[in-house]
Amino acid sequence: MMQHLRTSPVKPKRVVVLGGSGFVGTDLVQHLKHLDIETISLSSMDVDLAEARSVAALRRIVSERDTMVIISALTPDRGKDVGTLIRNLKMGEHLSAFLEGATCAHIVYVSSDAVYSEDANPVRETTCCSPATFHGIMHLVRERMLAAVAQKQGIALAVVRPCALYGADDTHNSYGPNRFLRISAAEGRIALFGNGEEIRDHLYIGDLSRVIGLCLAYRSKGVLNVATGKAVSFFELAQMICELRKNDVLIERLPRVTPITHRHFDIGALLRAFPLFRPTSLRTGLTETLNRMAGASSGRN
């Protein structure tokens, strides 16, 4: 569960975002700049955490007054094999080595709901972690690595575990809002597995940035799931996108290749941690995503 080390919000002196050029990092950096928080955004081009030399590089950049937000990871679209797992764990090893010889004021680690078993329902922070994929295993191991060194060094560590994310700048094209929005625009269709009856929670990217910002302001520590608490079926999602597009979009059905599983989140801990936080509704988030996609498309023309 999440605990706050501050009773009222205070801007961190400086935030170092590792993985600042990716989908999550880019949105977070924009959010922090909107809050007028001094931010250093680092990509793998600046500091490659998979390389041992990253330890010395971080020591030159990060000071004891800084807060670190760790997002850097090779996502499943970059590979789902053992090699990708090992490279991700190398990043965790080098982060731990850096923290063993240096310190910072606060750490926020962006993990994933993949640390839970695929059939966990509803998901709470107390749900047993039993990942079924290398991606989930990687995040759980890196959480434990960071927790061990943070405890040893006396650094507050917050772990946020978001559910499936969507937004205009997402490049992962995973099954769900982002793929449905892009294919419906390009091909006038949305392809569902089976009848699209699986139920999932979909989180707008801006909501994750807001929660991370709150964790920074309250210097929070502990574990917190980030979701809307309102899961819908993929068929309902497809219907909503058809309505928002206001044109003919064909919903197709493909043969099912995996068993039906559902996932719903109990967000009680999130609302207790941040009582004023309200997740963006799916319709509002999809509308914002469509508008941003349209703006980006017109800007290229």
Instruction: Work out the average pLDDT over 24-39.
Output: 97
Q: Structural domain tally of the chain?
A: 1
pTM above 0.85, yes or no: yes
Q: pLDDT band for position 257 (50/70/90)?
A: confident
The pLDDT value recorded for residue 226 is: 98
Evaluate whether residue 8 is within a structural domain.
yes
Percent of the chain with pLDDT over 90: 86
Q: Are 33 and 125 in contact (CB under 8 A)?
A: no
Asked if pLDDT for residue 160 goes beyond 90, the answer is: yes
pLDDT tens digits for 193-238?
A: 999 999 999 999 999 999 999 999 999 999 999 999 999 999 999 9
Evaluate whether residue 257 is within a structural domain.
no
Q: Are 125 and 1 in contact (CB under 8 A)?
A: yes
pLDDT tens digits for 272-293?
A: 999 999 999 999 999 999 999 8
Q: Reduce the DSSP state of residue 132 to 3 states and report it.
A: coil
The pLDDT value recorded for residue 300 is: 58
- The CATH code of the domain that includes 150 is 3.40.50.720
Query: Residue 216's domain spans which residues?
Result: 3-165+203-229+264-277
Evaluate whether residue 295 is within a structural domain.
no
The pLDDT value recorded for residue 118 is: 87
Evaluate whether residue 102 is within a structural domain.
yes
